């Protein structure tokens, strides 16, 4: 990519970051208030819905890509439908921020957007599996894609409960995905990741502890959905589609905590859809770790995962899944540390 093009892209990203910041300021001035309760960490009513800035910045970027870009033009219908579905889902999420819908309503909107993505052709068709080699997924690929999109969307949403945690992870992850995509010549994924990063760059300063505004479902669900779709698009980096693993690797800190918590609650016989405050990151805060430190730790995880993703690209297909092992080991150490700190403070998962 030429220097002139890089500077142009960075300039446009800066413009989008300023647009995002402007939208966040408006959401602070005309707030949707998030009132504290027993399962929330904040003590005073705080504006939410700051993710509107992320959505608006991303959509302006997509519009520019569709209308004037010379590269990374949208494939007719394939991505246009997905982007409109993401916008519709974000609209439902914003209404939920204002009115607090039941979970089934949010899940229905997410499922509708996921079905549009799959119907548009964004489906995992094959995966390289250790020992077995390349496996054709057939119809199982449709189910796996739907499960991944819904799982990623909700994992990011569930993890947005501590100042700057999700926003900092998303900023680092989307920047890393943009760089990796540029190196692979995947210009649509590069552009979409850059737009998402710009949106979070504009939002994050307002979300740093103590947060002036929260992202809300409108931002967390939208970001989770977009990253999930980009993971499927990134699968096309190679013939075996193993590059699908890049985004799960980048987001492993969020996915591990959400998965660990879901499994622990299910094994404990708890109703997993019931609101709670027993995620690992929440228990770390309750055990005395400052929210700023928790956010910094998760941002550090994501930087480490980005380095592993850069290594991942260079490895032979048979070895690529092994890159997940050191990332998973770090998450297990984090879980063990949080559990030990909880035990020392006499805390339990409740």
Taking only the tens place, the pLDDT of each residue in 140-173 is 889 999 999 999 999 999 999 999 999 999 999 9
Give Cα 182 distance to the centre of its chain. Answer: 20
Q: Is the pLDDT of residue 298 over 90?
A: yes
Structure confidence at residue 74 (pLDDT): 55
φ/ψ of residue 33, rounded to 5: -85, 140
The rounded percent of the chain whose pLDDT value lies above 70 is: 90
Q: Which two tokens stand for residue 287?
A: 């055990």
Each residue's pLDDT tens digit, 164-211: 999 999 999 999 999 999 988 888 889 999 999 999 999 999 999 999
ω before 210 within 30° of 0 (cis)?
yes
Q: Is the pLDDT of residue 44 over 80?
A: no
Q: Are 239 and 170 in contact (CB under 8 A)?
A: no
Each residue's pLDDT tens digit, 86-134: 999 999 999 999 988 888 899 999 999 999 999 988 888 877 665 555 6
Each residue's pLDDT tens digit, 13-24: 999 999 999 999
Q: Nearest to residue 16, comparing CAs of 231, 191, 220?
A: 191
Distance CA 308, CA 305 (A): 5
**273 burial via Cβ count (<10 Å: 0-12, 13-18, 19+):** exposed
- Per-residue CA distances from 170 to 63, 156, 226 (Å): 21, 9, 11
Q: Which two tokens stand for residue 278?
A: 């027993």
Q: Nearest to residue 213, comparing CAs of 164, 157, 154?
A: 164
Question: Which residues, in sequence order, are bridge partners of residue 135?
Answer: 127
Region 269-290: what's the mean pLDDT?
90
Q: Is the pLDDT of residue 68 over 60?
A: yes
Q: What's the pTM? A: 0.93
Strand, coil or helix: 48: strand
């Amino acid at each position: 990519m030429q220097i002139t093009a890089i500077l142009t892209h960075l300039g446009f990203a800066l413009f989008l970051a300023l647009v995002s910041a402007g939208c966040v300021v408006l959401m602070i001035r005309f707030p949707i208030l998030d009132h504290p309760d027993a399962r929330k960490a904040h003590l005073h009513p705080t504006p939410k819905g700051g993710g509107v800035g992320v959505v608006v910045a991303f959509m302006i970027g997509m519009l520019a890509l569709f209308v004037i870009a010379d590269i990374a033009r949208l494939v007719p219908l394939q991505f246009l439908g997905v982007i409109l579905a993401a916008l519709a889902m974000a609209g439902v999420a914003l209404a939920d921020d204002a009115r607090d819908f039941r979970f089934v309503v949010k899940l229905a909107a997410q499922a509708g957007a996921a079905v549009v993505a799959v119907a548009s052709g964004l489906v995992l068709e094959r995966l390289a599996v250790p020992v077995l080699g390349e496996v054709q997924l057939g119809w199982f690929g449709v189910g796996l894609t739907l499960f991944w999109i819904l799982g990623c969307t909700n994992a990011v949403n569930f993890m947005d409960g501590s100042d700057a945690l999700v926003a900092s992870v998303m900023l680092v992850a989307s920047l890393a995905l943009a760089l990796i995509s540029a190196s692979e010549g995947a210009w649509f994924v590069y552009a979409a990741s850059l737009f998402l990063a710009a949106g979070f760059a504009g939002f994050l300063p307002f979300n740093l502890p103590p947060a002036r505004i929260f992202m809300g479902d409108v931002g967390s669900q939208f970001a989770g959905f977009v990253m999930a779709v980009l993971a499927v698009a990134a699968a096309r980096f190679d013939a075996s589609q193993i590059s699908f693993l890049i985004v799960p690797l980048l987001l492993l800190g969020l996915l591990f905590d959400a998965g660990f918590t879901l499994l622990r609650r299910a094994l404990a016989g708890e109703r997993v859809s019931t609101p709670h405050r027993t995620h690992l990151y929440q228990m770390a805060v309750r055990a005395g770790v400052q929210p700023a430190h928790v956010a910094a730790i998760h941002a550090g995880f994501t930087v480490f995962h980005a380095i592993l993703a850069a290594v991942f690209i260079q490895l032979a297909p048979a070895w690529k899944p092994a890159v997940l092992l050191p990332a998973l080991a770090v998450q297990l150490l984090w879980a063990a540390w949080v559990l030990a700190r909880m035990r020392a403070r006499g805390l339990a998962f409740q």
